[in-house]
Structure 1
Amino acid sequence: MITNTTSFTESNRVISITELSQLLSKSRVSLWRWQRDGVLPLPIKIQGRTIGWRESAILEWLESQEVS
């Protein structure tokens, strides 16, 4: 279980598609498909065409994926 002891700056850190790919052990293509299909939380636009995901949103999403 993930606790809320993470500091504000860590939980609101923006992670790239490469970091997310490593974190979830999934290919970038799989992640783009998950995003397209609404499985992943929506990314945020950082600058121009650069996008990323708030770490807090990914952690919440991962927690919701746990099987009871």
Structure 2
Amino acid sequence: MAERILRRPDVEACTGLSRSTIYAWMARGEFPQPVALGARLVGWRESDIEAWMAAREVKAA
């Protein structure tokens, strides 16, 4: 089964982060990098976002 790709609005909705926070954390290496879907189109692997959220839950506990 193909991996689901999330677009930025979906990533914002499931993480609760704003666009600017996502890109700032990506620049610092604290958020998963997107995959290129086209010349000006990117998305994030759902598994990368889920793993990132799970790792943050462990750190917060």
Same fold, TM-score > 0.5, yes or no: yes
The equivalent residue for 2:46 is: 55
Using the size of structure 2 for normalisation, the TM-score is 0.84
Unaligned runs of 5+ in 2: none
Unaligned runs of 5+ in 1: 1-7
Instruction: Quote the RMSD (CA, aligned, Å).
Output: 1.2
Give the one of 9, 16, 22 matched to 2:7: 16
Q: Cα distance, 1:33 vs. partner?
A: 0.6
When you count helix as a share of all residues, which structure comes out higher? 2
Secondary structure at the aligned position of 1:53 is classed as: strand
Give runs of ≥4 in structure 1 deviating > 3 Å: none
TM-score relative to the length of structure 1: 0.76
Q: What SS does the corresponding residue of 1:18 show, helix, strand or coil?
A: helix
Q: Which secondary structure does the structure 2 equivalent of 1:39 belong to?
A: coil
Look up the equivalent residue of 2:20 and give its one-letter code.
Answer: V
CA distance in 1 between counterparts of 2:16 and 2:48 reads: 18
Partners of 1:42 and 1:25 in 2: how far apart?
A: 17
